[in-house]
Structure formats: C-alpha cells, structure tokens
C-alpha cells in the first residue's frame, strides 16, 4: 500500500487500517518487530501531510517500546488490531499518544517525513533520524500524560519542553548533513523558533506604551479663532435652532455672542436698522445709532422690536464687531438706560427719540398683555433729549415678558413636532397673551366667588375642571404627575414623610 491517499482518507482510522493491513498478524508475541514493521510500513505509505496521525502512531509505537511492561496490556491490545474496533483503537491511541500540542509534534516531525519523502532510499538514515527524533518526543510524551490535571501548567511546560526539544531537534537535525531539505528545514526551524526567544517589546513594538503626545494649547490662536467665529457669516445664524433668531440682513458681520432673544418681526427691524445705521450719525458708539433705528422700524411689533433693539445692538453695527466693543457698547447703553430710566415711571420704554415721537400718543399703560404697546414714550423725555442719540432700554418690561412667553412658544414648537413658520410663532405668542389674560380673569372670578383675595390651588383645579382637563376619571394629581417634573410634583402633591409629617401641609 504505497499509494498516497488523499487527505480526506487519511483519518486516524484509515491510517490504522493501513497499519493493520501491513502489520504482521503475529504481533502479540513480538511487539518490537511488529512495531518496526509497522513503522516501516508507515514510513512508506504515510502521506507527508497527515503528520498528526503519524505522530500519534509513531509515538504510540515508540512509546510502547519505551514504556515499561506495565503497558503490555495495551500493547497486546494493540496487537489484536484486527479484532478491535476503531473505537478501542482510538482509545488506545488517546491513552498512549502524547497530549498533542499543535506546535510540537508537527514542527518536530516536519523535518522527519520530508527527508523521507524526498529520499526514500535513505530510509535508514531517516529511520535513524526518526529514532533520533523520537527520543526527543519521549520526554514530552512522558511528561505530557503526567500533566493532564493542571491545564495551564501543562501548556507552559509543553512550551518549555518544546523549546528543549527544539534545541535538541535543532542540534539533531543538523546531523543528516548534506541534506539540503533538512538544512533548509533547519533554517526554517531556526526562523520559526527564533521569534519566541525575542523579548516581547521588541517583537511587538506597537504595544509599547508611548507618552501621549499633547500639544500645548495656543491661546493666541484660540482667541483669534474665537473672534473669527464671532464674525461668522449669517449662515450660522440662519441655522440657529432658536426660534426667532434673526437672520442678519444688511450686516453680515454680525454674529454676536449674545443669545438671540425672541423677537418677531425681526426682519423688518433689521432692515430698518441696517438702513438707519448708515443714515443716523454715530453719536456715541456705533451701537447706539443702530438701536433707535431698530425701534423705529420695529414699532409695528413694538415688543419685539424693543427686545430686538436691545440685545441685537450689534446687529446694527456694520463695523468691526469684536466681542469687546460689543460688550462696551452694551454697557454704555445700559448706563444710558439707567440715566433715562429714572425720570420714567413704571414703564420702561426704549429711549429712542424717533420711537417716542411715533408713540407719543400711545398710553404708557403698564398692561403687559397687549401686543401693541411696548415703546410708550414719556413726553418729558421727548422734550429733554431731542438730539440725543438713541439708546435702547436694556430691560424693558416687554423683553422679559417676551422671554417668558418664548419658553411656551418653544414648548409649542416642541409639541408640534413639525417645522413652523415665524408668522405662526408670532400667532402663538398672541394666543398665549390672550390666554394669560383669560386665565387671570377666571382666577379672579373664582377667588372672588370663594370670598378670597388670594388665588389658591383649588381655584386652579376648578379652572382646569371647567376646561375639561380634570375629570372624574383624571384627577389633578394625575395631571401633575404626568406633565411636571419631579421637583414640582413634590411641592404640589401632599406626601407623607417620616416623623408623621405631610409635605406640603394641607
């Protein structure tokens, strides 16, 4: 059976079958000769590829020879190969074969069959080499079964043993001199075995720890970038997700760092501002001329224009819009406001001259809800400062009112989940204004009905019941739990705490 079977056939079973066929049937009495014969047969027939099976058989054969008589039972069992089933054969193999480490047998055995395949005539030498090799296999084989229990140690020892075997194998494999293959294999062996001996850091330089390369922050560059971004084109403003953020028309350099306030009708005011900036002389600052101009333009929506005027002072500035001058301008405007705020009464209105002229006949009514009021001027002011450069009122009444309303407008746009037009948002603001008006009226009526002058939560509950929000099925507490955050819930819903106390007290 000198044919080389294909890989698929060379299972241990087939190899054993071959062994059986070639082996001398009268093996039990003469295990040695049988084994030798088996070995020779193996050498002739075995394909160089399936080494592990050969290794096992070789090892088995050799280990049988090397083992004490105590193993004779196994040997005899192996001798009765024909009577045994493949299962017993494999069992014997497993019992006797070394714990096959993937590395060891192959690499050590590689040089062995290769010379055999190349030069079958040199069987004896190869046998000799085999024999030479096998003693190296023995120590690992004897060691390996003894180490079955400790798993990890087994591997480590195998490695060290492997290295020993390698060294010895290296020395031995050089013995078949003139064997180009062997030498090449040796070289390959050297190559393959050389690497584990190197220290790991040299082996894997990428794993070595490197100090993190941190660049020092260039403060100057950072500030420059800050300024540059503050001068960014209005595209940024357009992309701003805040509602009512105004697109800067006519003043491209104006992205100011202040947060955009809510103001509708910003565009009109801005355009007017842009126009007015050029027309009106720069009284004190570049900021100031812009502000009143905006008021003028924005008087249609005064509230908005006002807020617009104040916080978007920079929008009027077409000149350099550094952050610092902007702040300076704002500070100056505030100072001016303080000056002029004193003579004014409750209404804090924009001190723009032209706006005042326009709103001369408007009542300076402190009614917040009305949309048509913001810039009610006081007449004495008008007379006093005709040529005065207009400064905006920084904190007029409408501005925080708008700011507060903006909170609900944002909520509206959040609940709507759809993009909205600015006009629609203005409409929402108007609706909210009306709503607040109605709400206050109703609460007043309810409180009066209960003979109180203080609005209590019961009035609120009654209001919500009338609105249909609170029903017999849905109580107020349920709504509170649903819509308000935890902190408010704790304040609203009485809850018992330790120490026999209820908070809030009922």
Partner 1 sequence: MALSTIVSQRKQIKRKAPRGFLKRVFKRKKPQLRLEKSGDLLVHLNCLLFVHRLAEESRTNACASKCRVINKEHVLAAAKKSRG
Interface residues toward partner 1, by CB under 8 A: 238-239, 241, 243-244, 247, 366-369, 400-401, 403-404, 407-408, 410-428, 431-432, 434-440, 443-444, 447, 453-457, 459-461, 463-464, 467, 469, 476, 479-480, 483-485, 488, 491-492, 504
Q: What is the DSSP string of 157-175?
A: HHHHHHHHHHHHHHHHHTS
* Residues facing 501 on adjacent strands: 497
Smallest separation (angstroms) from partner 1 to the CB of 438? 7
Residue 238 or 372 having the CB closest to partner 1: 238
Residue 53 or 393 having the CB closest to partner 1: 393
CA distance 143 to 205: 35
Q: Phi and psi of 501, rounded to 5°?
A: -125, 145
Instruction: Spell out the residues 6+ positions from residue 495 whose beta carbon is closer than 8 angstroms to its own.
Output: 502, 503
Q: Answer yes or no: are the C-beta atoms of 413 and 407 closer than 8 Å.
A: no
Q: Which tokens in the block code for residue 134?
A: 């096998």
Instruction: Spell out the residues 6+ positions from residue 462 whose beta carbon is closer than 8 angstroms to its own.
Output: 446
| Surface-to-core class of residue 427, CB atoms within 10 Å of its CB (0-12 exposed, 13-18 middle, 19+ buried) | middle
Smallest separation (angstroms) from partner 1 to the CB of 216? 35
Cα 269–Cα 272–Cα 273 angle in degrees, nearest 5: 80
Smallest separation (angstroms) from partner 1 to the CB of 354? 26
* Residues facing 496 on adjacent strands: 502
CA distance 498 to 182: 88
Q: Which tokens in the block code for residue 262?
A: 């809510």
Residue 236 or 238 having the CB closest to partner 1: 238
Smallest separation (angstroms) from partner 1 to the CB of 249? 9
Smallest separation (angstroms) from partner 1 to the CB of 290? 21
Smallest separation (angstroms) from partner 1 to the CB of 103? 57
Smallest separation (angstroms) from partner 1 to the CB of 342? 21
Nearest to 429 by CA among 306, 264, 202, 255: 264
Smallest separation (angstroms) from partner 1 to the CB of 283? 32
Residue 28 or 404 having the CB closest to partner 1: 404
Smallest separation (angstroms) from partner 1 to the CB of 343? 22
Residue 299 or 459 having the CB closest to partner 1: 459
Name the residue with tokens 């409180």: 447
**Angle subtended by helix axes 323-341 and 219-230, to nearest 10:** 60
CA distance 371 to 312: 20
Smallest separation (angstroms) from partner 1 to the CB of 453? 6
| Surface-to-core class of residue 88, CB atoms within 10 Å of its CB (0-12 exposed, 13-18 middle, 19+ buried) | middle
Helix (H, G, I), strand (E, B) or coil at 90: helix
Residue 236 or 431 having the CB closest to partner 1: 431
Question: Which H or E run contains 502?
Answer: strand 501-503
Residue 9 or 267 having the CB closest to partner 1: 267
Residue 234 or 290 having the CB closest to partner 1: 234
Residue 74 or 410 having the CB closest to partner 1: 410
Smallest separation (angstroms) from partner 1 to the CB of 260? 11
Residue 386 or 400 having the CB closest to partner 1: 400
Query: For residue 178, is it left (φ>0), alpha (ψ between -120 and 50) or beta?
Result: left
Smallest separation (angstroms) from partner 1 to the CB of 408? 5
- For residue 269, what are the CA distances in angstroms to 234, 239, 273, 291, 312? 16, 20, 6, 10, 10
Around Cβ 185, how many Cβ atoms within 10 Å? 19
Residue 145 or 243 having the CB closest to partner 1: 243
Smallest separation (angstroms) from partner 1 to the CB of 323? 25
The runs of H, that is alpha helices, within 180-281 are 180-197, 200-203, 219-230, 235-239, 266-279
Helix (H, G, I), strand (E, B) or coil at 253: coil
Name the residue with tokens 């739990």: 481
CA distance 423 to 110: 85
CA distance 236 to 424: 22
CA distance 377 to 353: 9
Residue 330 or 462 having the CB closest to partner 1: 462
Residue 6 or 451 having the CB closest to partner 1: 451
């Amino acid at each position: 059976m000198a044919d080389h079977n294909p890989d698929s056939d060379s299972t241990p079973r087939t190899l054993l079958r071959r062994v059986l066929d070639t082996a001398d049937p009268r093996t039990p009495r003469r295990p040695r000769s049988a084994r030798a014969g088996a070995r020779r047969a193996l050498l002739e027939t075995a394909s160089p590829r399936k080494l592990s099976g050969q290794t096992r058989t070789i090892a088995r054969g050799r280990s049988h020879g090397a083992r004490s008589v105590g193993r004779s039972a196994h040997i005899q069992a192996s001798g009765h190969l024909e009577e045994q089933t493949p299962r017993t054969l494999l069992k014997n193999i497993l019992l006797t074969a070394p714990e096959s480490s993937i590395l060891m047998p192959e690499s050590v055995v590689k040089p062995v069959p290769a010379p055999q395949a190349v030069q079958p005539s040199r069987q004896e030498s190869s046998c000799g080499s085999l024999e030479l090799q096998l003693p190296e296999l023995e120590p690992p084989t004897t060691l390996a079964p003894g180490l079955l229990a400790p798993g990890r140690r087994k591997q480590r020892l195998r490695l060290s043993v492997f290295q020993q075997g390698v060294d010895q194998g290296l020395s031995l494999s050089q013995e078949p001199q003139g064997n180009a293959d062997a030498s090449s294999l040796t070289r390959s062996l050297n190559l393959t075995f050389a690497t584990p001996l190197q220290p790991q850091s040299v082996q894997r330089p990428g794993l070595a720890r490197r100090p993190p390369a941190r660049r020092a922050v260039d403060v100057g560059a950072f500030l420059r970038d800050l300024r540059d971004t503050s001068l960014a084109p209005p595209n940024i403003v357009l992309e701003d997700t805040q509602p009512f953020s105004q697109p800067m028309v006519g003043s491209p350099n104006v992205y100011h760092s202040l947060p955009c306030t809510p103001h509708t009708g910003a565009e009109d005011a801005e355009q007017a501002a842009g126009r007015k900036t050029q027309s009106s002389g720069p009284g004190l600052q570049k900021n100031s001329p812009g502000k009143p101009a905006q008021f003028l333009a924005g008087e249609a929506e005064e509230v908005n224009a006002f807020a617009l005027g104040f916080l978007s002072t920079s929008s009027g500035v077409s000149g350099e819009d550094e952050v610092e001058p902007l702040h300076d301008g704002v500070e100056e405007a505030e100072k001016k406001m303080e000056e002029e705020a004193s003579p004014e009464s409750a209404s804090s209105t924009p001190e723009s001259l032209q706006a005042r002229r326009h709103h001369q006949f408007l009542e300076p009514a402190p009614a917040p809800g009305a949309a048509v009021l913001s810039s009610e001027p006081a007449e004495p002011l008008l007379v006093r400062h005709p040529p005065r450069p207009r400064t905006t009122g920084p904190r007029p009444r409408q501005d925080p009112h708008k700011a507060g309303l903006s909170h609900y407008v944002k909520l509206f746009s959040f609940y709507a989940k759809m993009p909205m037009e600015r006009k629609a948002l203005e409409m929402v603001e108007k609706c909210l204004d009306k709503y607040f008006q109605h709400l206050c009226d109703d609460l007043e009526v309810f409180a009066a009905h209960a003979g109180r002058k203080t609005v209590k939560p019961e009035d609120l509950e009654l209001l919500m019941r009338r609105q249909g929000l609170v029903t017999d099925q849905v109580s107020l507490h349920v709504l509170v739990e649903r819509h308000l955050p935890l902190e408010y819930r704790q304040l609203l819903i009485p809850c018992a705490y330790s120490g026999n106390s209820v908070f809030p007290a009922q």
